[in-house]
Structure 1
Amino acid sequence: MKPIGLAYGRKEVLLGLPEKTLVQVLEGKPNGHEKTEEAIIVEALSNPMGTDRLQDIVKAGQRVCLVISDVTRAWQKMSLYLPYIVEELNQAGILDENIIFLCATGSHRKQSREEHKLLLGEELALRFQVIDHDCRDESNLVDLGKTSFGTPVQINRIAMDCDHIIITGAIVYHDLVGWGGGKKSILPGIAGYQSIMGNHGLSLSHIEGAGTHPHVKSGNIVQNPLHEDMLEAAGIVNPSFLFNVMMDEAGNIGNAVAGHFEGAHEVGRKLVSESDGIFINEKADLVIASAGGFPKDMNLYQASKALSNGKEALKPGGTMILLCQCEEGFGHPEVQEIITGFESNLARETELRRNYTIAKYAGFLVTEIAAKYKVILVSEIDPVLLEAANIKVVSTLESALKLVGGIQDAILKTYVIPKAANVLPIVASDSN
């Protein structure tokens, strides 16, 4: 059969499998229309859901905070859609000097000027500076009270001092809050560190030793406390407008929604499920997946999302090979700390409950998956560092396949997922 291309960092690796071994290549569905990306953007902005058009919401002389994602989400092609939003603001009489670009870094690192240029594109980068939100700068936070979950709502002062907050981003499956985009631009995007940790601490089960919360997973918001808590926080902030994109199987903008931060996002979630929720009849012995290449595999922190999605197509005790270059290694020292510094998942969970951080949770999620499945990473991470988590690391896909064995004899039925950070396998019988 024809080799399957899998992204690895900034290059492509070819996978050859016997046809009798391969059950299915799990990929997003085509968007079903012939519209250009530009046409999709304009149509969404022209037909907002639950609000007036952006140009009718803002008034000349007002200050507008435009919240954008950070470089780990550069794949959403912000440089393509942001000029249209700025143009609409300008048409409403908002001067460039009254438009503030605030990067929703959450608890991620600050970015370079070159990375800001990548996000805005050449033309906007000449006109605007980008401010990176700093969740630990308490002097630049406004206290807005607490949610019903007890999470403090501390939000970036620059945003709150503006007349309008516009949130942008992309809607994809997310292993904590069900779907990304929407409210995530507020919490964790421009929230304080205590807000972020309080919210994400809800990801653990109420029962100590039980690991992660059973409803905290990709594609689910029902009884998902992170979703409910984030939504409350966003409601307190009450952003004036949302613009979110959805990517197609080719990595282009395949759909977009605009309008009310909750209602438009709900429509976007349904569109994502229609395109990236892939029904399967049964789980397989082996899953071979790519996180989707750079920047989705820039570090293990980011690549853990692909691991979380990919496992949904795998039998208990099955094997997953994940291609994730991880040129930045673990991506955060606390991801490495929770993985390498403890000998058991119970000890890791105890540490997580003692001093919760998102990075530690990401590392714990990786080790929790590795306890239920056999995990092999094709990566640049030092193999010794993942031995404690019972994860094997090799430098090539060929080496990973040799570790599995049985493929040529069709003993192992296999799914291949070229973009596992986006696609969510769903067993048909589980959806009833």
Structure 2
Amino acid sequence: MSEHTLHYGDISWTMPVADKNLAAVLQSNPVTLPELEPEEAVREALRHPVGSPCLKEIVRPGEKICLLVPDVTRIWQSPAVYVKVMVAELNACGIPDSDILIVTATGTHRAHVGDERVRLLGGDICRRIRIIDHDCRDTAHLVHVGDTSRGTPVWFNSYAMACDKIIITCGVVFHFLAGYGGGGKMLLPGIAGYETIQRHHKQALNPGFGNGTNAEVRSANMADSNIFHADIFEAAAMARPCFGLNVVVDDDYRIIKAFAGDWISSHAAACRLVDSMDGVTIRERTPLVVASAGGYPKDINLYQTIKLLSNALGAVQPGGTMILLSRCPEGFGSPDVETQICAYGDMRAREQALRETFSIGSYVGFLFAEAAEKHHLILVTDMDASLFARTRMHVCHTLDQALELARGFLGPELDVRTTIMPHGASTLPKLAG
């Protein structure tokens, strides 16, 4: 018998598993990297670009440069660190502050309020550089740059497109739709129009009403089979980004490595590092998966818990049981998630609403409800069970309650092969072969 610690908010529980039943305990793979301070890691990347000349050979004095940066929902990337270094590099290339425009890639998110820009980028950058929050619904400041081969009309922020050069800056992690975050996502949805985002995002669904989600639209898949990813990069190429800076952070959100250079090649290099760290090989899918998001802040709300669900689905057998630990002190985290969970009584109604007005939040809610249709999905959360009454999700408030419920599905002794995921929001199971 072995015992395994699983975090839940700011507390933890212990999960006992008989040795003969323990299939795997998923932990990030150890990766040896040079021990550099975050700013130095970024400077090192700029000194050794991937697939590209150095920045000083790409930008010229007199040119207007647009820096695409994430919004405050991605503050875990430490943009205050890497944007400051990038601005200093542009200054060294002869580009003064007055010729730099920062556009926050908000996608469909709201504009920044209060001190959020300062927290995101630092007070010095906010005082020196002109900053614009992208507004996907401001049609007066969108420009049509073409259509993708899949029929997505590509409208981008006109302020960014009016600049001579566009540089992408971002952090890279697994993404449950695009394969990986960052890269082309900084343009679509980052600085795209609402119509563009809607048309593109619907590619996460299979064609034809009632056919649900596309299984190839998933974490770590950057092959052409993931049409969501392929459409992003086709659209992003229309903006002709001249350079990219991509950072990878550890579990404490500290930059441990950066990759700069060609916007596609440098992003791919960052993706390979993320995969080597957090892509964990498993030999089998199991009837029972017990997974924790990793505690606070990774389990702050149900919206963020989609990372945990997506990864756990990679380890569970078809029709198996998943116990997901996510405290969710801030509830659903999105009104669109809440609507999908609470407002509809069946999957057809959910899918109809999703196809009519697609949003990431709606898709997250749909995925939870869909997963509960195909598996025994037990959510351990502080949220009220009544909120999930119109889904097939089972809600408990402790791990012991969840295990008791699982015995009803798997037998009183839980004598089944089991996978434990202590850091389920970040570790992605990859089936051997």
TM-score (normalizing by structure 1): 0.90
Letter in 2 for 1:15: T
- Where does residue 172 of structure 1 map in the other structure? 173
- 1:57 lines up with 2:61 in the alignment: no
2:293–2:425: 8 Å Cα contact kept in structure 1? yes
Q: CA–CA distance in 1 between the matches of 2:22 and 2:377?
A: 19
Letter in 2 for 1:326: C
Residues 325 and 293 of structure 1, relative CA distance in 2, 3 Å threshold: same
2:155–2:192: 8 Å Cα contact kept in structure 1? yes
CA deviation digits over 1:165-213, x for unaligned, max 9? 1112122221111111110000001101111111111111124322112
- 1:157 lines up with 2:161 in the alignment: no
1:28–1:248: 8 Å Cα contact kept in structure 2? no
- Where does residue 299 of structure 1 map in the other structure? 301
Residues 104 and 397 of structure 1, relative CA distance in 2, 3 Å threshold: farther
Equivalent residue runs for 1:232-247 within 5 Å:
232-247=234-249
Equivalent residue runs for 1:152-301 within 5 Å:
152-222=153-223, 223-248=225-250, 251-301=253-303
Residues 234 and 402 of structure 1, relative CA distance in 2, 3 Å threshold: same
Equivalent residue runs for 1:301-340 within 5 Å:
301-340=303-342
Equivalent residue runs for 1:309-388 within 5 Å:
309-388=311-390
Q: CA–CA distance in 2 between the matches of 1:13 and 1:129?
A: 45
- Where does residue 25 of structure 2 map in the other structure? 25
Residues 404 and 135 of structure 1, relative CA distance in 2, 3 Å threshold: same
The 3-state SS of whatever aligns with 1:209 is coil
Q: CA–CA distance in 2 between the matches of 1:247 and 1:425?
A: 19
CA deviation digits over 1:35-59, x for unaligned, max 9? 2243432221111122222233222
How far 1:101 sits from its partner (Å)? 2.3
1:47–1:53: 8 Å Cα contact kept in structure 2? yes
- 145-154 or 92-101: which moved more? 92-101
Equivalent residue runs for 1:39-78 within 5 Å:
39-78=40-79
1:173–1:421: 8 Å Cα contact kept in structure 2? no
Q: CA–CA distance in 1 between the matches of 2:295 and 2:131?
A: 26
The 3-state SS of whatever aligns with 1:17 is strand
The 3-state SS of whatever aligns with 1:237 is coil
CA deviation digits over 1:77-102, x for unaligned, max 9? 22222221121112122222332222
Q: CA–CA distance in 2 between the matches of 1:401 and 1:101?
A: 50
1:18–1:408: 8 Å Cα contact kept in structure 2? no
Residues 295 and 79 of structure 1, relative CA distance in 2, 3 Å threshold: farther
Equivalent residue runs for 1:93-112 within 5 Å:
93-112=94-113
- Where does residue 14 of structure 2 map in the other structure? 15
Q: CA–CA distance in 1 between the matches of 2:412 and 2:260?
A: 49
The 3-state SS of whatever aligns with 2:371 is helix
- 290-299 or 330-339: which moved more? 290-299
How far 1:369 sits from its partner (Å)? 1.1
- 120-129 or 318-327: which moved more? 120-129
The 3-state SS of whatever aligns with 1:271 is helix
The 3-state SS of whatever aligns with 2:288 is strand
- 53-62 or 158-167: which moved more? 53-62
The 3-state SS of whatever aligns with 1:81 is helix
How far 1:392 sits from its partner (Å)? 2.5
How far 1:127 sits from its partner (Å)? 4.0
Gaps of 5+ in 2: none
Letter in 1 for 2:35: K
2:382–2:397: 8 Å Cα contact kept in structure 1? yes
Q: CA–CA distance in 2 between the matches of 1:254 and 1:89?
A: 22
Moved over 6 A (4+): none
1:143–1:155: 8 Å Cα contact kept in structure 2? yes
- Where does residue 428 of structure 1 map in the other structure? 432
Letter in 1 for 2:396: V
1:75–1:295: 8 Å Cα contact kept in structure 2? no
1:288–1:321: 8 Å Cα contact kept in structure 2? yes
Q: CA–CA distance in 2 between the matches of 1:35 and 1:134?
A: 39
Q: CA–CA distance in 2 between the matches of 1:323 and 1:129?
A: 42
- Where does residue 400 of structure 1 map in the other structure? 402
Q: CA–CA distance in 1 between the matches of 2:328 and 2:260?
A: 34
The 3-state SS of whatever aligns with 2:53 is coil
How far 1:235 sits from its partner (Å)? 0.6
TM-score (normalizing by structure 2): 0.90
Q: CA–CA distance in 1 between the matches of 2:24 and 2:152?
A: 43
CA deviation digits over 1:233-253, x for unaligned, max 9? 111001121111123455433
Q: CA–CA distance in 1 between the matches of 2:296 and 2:66?
A: 28
Alignment size in residue pairs: 427
Q: CA–CA distance in 2 between the matches of 1:63 and 1:376?
A: 52
Gaps of 5+ in 1: none
Letter in 2 for 1:109: R
Letter in 1 for 2:238: I
Letter in 1 for 2:356: R
CA deviation digits over 1:10-57, x for unaligned, max 9? x35243434635433212212212422434322211111222222332
- 1:415 lines up with 2:403 in the alignment: no
Residues 7 and 65 of structure 1, relative CA distance in 2, 3 Å threshold: farther
